[in-house]
């Protein structure tokens, strides 16, 4: 059995651990079955946002007439849009792999690996072990047990980012952020979209008013079937037939996307063999220092199920390195880690939602502002909602935005919450008039 100082499972944010350890002279092994760079680079946030920008451009052109500009789109070369993004992603991934192989340390095991003991792995025909192990194995699309589905060429989020032919009609199972973003991409480019949602709104984990708002906006553009579930799926003559539960109605389309959430890769890594504790959904349990219950084994990233975004993992990696390789242990704090949904309209959020505060029994005050009531709202001829939640001492509890550039504006709230958490960080600032950011400040001024 080959012995290393450090084993890193996963090549997303885990690469920073591998790089740090190698630079300190430690022998390092990286176990990664897929392309280098992890989910974010290869099948997540990077390619999806690059594709979505094309959709944003199309929407801008289509809306030009309301500004007195007549324009038309003569052609959308769907295949070239996807090819450009895929080639850029593949080039970056290949570059990472080349650099690792040329360095000699870390040693790359680009193959499936699984644990056979607390700090031991089987990788291909070889067995390896290490004093320190970092499990950064991520998640994968969750595929429901739906009769007939496995015999069809359905899309998951990974395949949907590399589809070479644009669908005429795309049915999406799921109402989360992946469904919302891919509905925007395909829908803006001209595909008919039908979304099957099990509940009564999309993005139901967002603040309730934000979820209501985006549900209304999406309903204007796409066909959304609420309280709807697929009962069976079949595929014949290049067409999907989705039979619905209850009424037995059928939907026929040329593509089907399953966007029903994500599950941790703990099962395919055989985490049970390590003795590491997991929750009932298979996510790894860690303490505030990102340590598992097994000494010398750390975990971070999506495989924890804690704010599963790449920027969360980017933050966690610094804590993992300090806690594993220095004498100064620093606890990871998930406070004020925000998120964004790059749909149309965009959504940005940080902190608690109103329904969470109600459930927790926390007293709070609310401030709201609509974009249409601001100078920039008139210039953009768009609307949106900025909503802030604060406690009785004016500490910021949560901020939620829907509308243009929500993914950017939410950072003002994140910075304020991280700085001192008080509303004065925003209300005492002098905002440029009539910049878009005034919109968020007005929500803070509106706190009652």
Active site residues: 433
Q: What contacts 337, CB < 8 A, 6 or more positions away?
A: 307, 309, 311, 312, 315, 350, 414
Per the CB < 8 A criterion, the answer to whether 195 and 183 are in contact is: yes
H helices within 264-422, ranges in order? 310-325, 354-360, 375-380, 406-419
Tell me how far apart the terminal alpha carbons of the chain are, to the nearest angstrom: 65
Write the DSSP string, 89-115.
Answer: HHHHHHHHHHHHHHH-SSEEE-S-EEE
Would you give the DSSP letter of residue 170? E
Q: What DSSP string describes 17-69?
A: HHHHHHHTT--EEEE-SS-TTHHHHHHSHHHHHHHHHHHHHHHHHHTGGGGT-
Task: Find, among 406, 404, 380, 400, the residue nearest to 444 by Cα.
Answer: 400
* DSSP string for residues in 213-225: HHHHHHHHHSEEE
Q: Which of 233, 260, 32, 267 shows the shortest CA–CA distance to 156?
A: 260
* Residues in Cβ contact with 252 at an 8 Å cutoff, skipping those fewer than 6 apart: 169, 239, 240, 241, 242
CA distance 357 to 398: 9
């Amino acid at each position: 059995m080959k012995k290393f100082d450090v084993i890193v499972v996963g090549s997303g944010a885990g690469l920073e651990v591998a790089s740090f350890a190698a630079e300190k002279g430690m022998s390092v092994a990286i176990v990664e079955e897929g392309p280098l760079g992890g989910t974010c680079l290869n099948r997540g946030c990077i390619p999806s946002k690059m594709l979505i920008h094309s959709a944003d451009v199309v929407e801008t052109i289509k809306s030009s007439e309301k500004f007195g500009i007549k324009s038309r789109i003569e052609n959308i070369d769907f295949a070239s849009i996807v090819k450009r993004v895929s080639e850029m992603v593949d080039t970056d991934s290949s570059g990472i792999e080349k650099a690792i192989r040329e360095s000699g340390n870390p040693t790359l095991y680009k193959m499936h690996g699984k644990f056979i003991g607390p700090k031991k792995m089987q990788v291909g025909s070889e067995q390896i072990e290490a004093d320190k192990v970092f499990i950064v194995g991520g998640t994968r699309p969750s595929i429901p047990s739906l009769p007939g589905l496995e015999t069809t060429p359905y899309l998951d989020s990974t395949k949907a980012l590399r589809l070479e032919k644009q669908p005429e009609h795309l049915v999406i199972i799921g109402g989360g952020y992946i469904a919302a973003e891919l509905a925007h991409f395909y829908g803006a480019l001209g595909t008919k979209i039908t979304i099957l949602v099990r509940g009564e709104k999309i993005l139901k984990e967002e603040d309730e008013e934000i979820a209501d708002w985006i549900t209304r906006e999406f309903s204007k553009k796409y066909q959304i079937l609420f309280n709807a579930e697929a009962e069976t799926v079949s595929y014949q003559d290049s067409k999907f037939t989705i039979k619905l539960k209850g009424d037995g109605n059928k939907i026929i389309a040329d593509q089907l996307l399953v966007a029903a959430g994500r599950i941790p890769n703990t099962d395919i890594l055989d985490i049970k063999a390590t003795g590491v504790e997991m929750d009932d959904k298979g996510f790894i349990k860690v303490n505030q220092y990102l340590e598992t219950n097994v000494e010398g084994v750390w975990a971070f990233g999506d495989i924890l199920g804690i704010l599963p975004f790449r920027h969360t993992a980017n933050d966690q990696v610094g804590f993992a390195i300090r806690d594993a390789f220095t004498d100064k242990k620093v606890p990871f704090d998930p406070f004020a880690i925000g998120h964004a949904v790059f749909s149309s309209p965009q959504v940005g959020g940080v902190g608690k939602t109103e329904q969470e505060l109600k459930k927790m029994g926390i007293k709070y005050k609310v401030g709201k502002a609509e974009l249409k009531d601001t100078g920039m709202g008139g210039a953009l001829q768009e609307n949106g909602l900025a909503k802030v939640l604060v406690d009785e001492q004016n500490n910021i509890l949560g901020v939620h935005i829907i509308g243009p550039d929500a993914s950017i504006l939410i950072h003002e709230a994140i910075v304020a919450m991280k700085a001192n958490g008080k509303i004065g960080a925003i209300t005492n600032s002098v905002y440029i008039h009539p910049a878009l950011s005034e919109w968020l400040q007005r929500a803070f001024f509106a706190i009652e």
